[in-house]
Amino acid sequence: MQYPSLPLRICMSVGVYLYRDAVFLLLLCRIRQLEDMIEMQKRQVKEIEEKLLFFGLNDTDRQQ
């Protein structure tokens, strides 16, 4: 079996590293998107809890 020439092997290995870097950046971007969504949902939950407290619908009122 004949191996590719040295310049081609270098290009192939660089291509692998570029591909890995691209995948890493995509995954990092997706993680940041998910973190942003979690933060947004936390804010929404907090707003709902504040509205419930404002209108007097907290847990102690429901238990009576």
CA-based angle 55:59:64, to the nearest 5? 100
Distance in angstroms (rounded) separating the CA atoms of residues 39 and 21: 27
Tokens 């870097």 -> residue: 21
Task: Please give the pLDDT value at position 6.
Answer: 67
Q: Would you put residue 56 in left (φ > 0), alpha (ψ -120 to 50) or beta?
A: left
Written as one letter, the residue type at 28 is L
Provide mean pLDDT across the span 8-25.
76
Q: Two tokens at 44?
A: 């929404």
- Residue-wise pLDDT tens digits, 19-61: 888 888 889 999 999 999 999 999 999 999 999 888 886 655 5
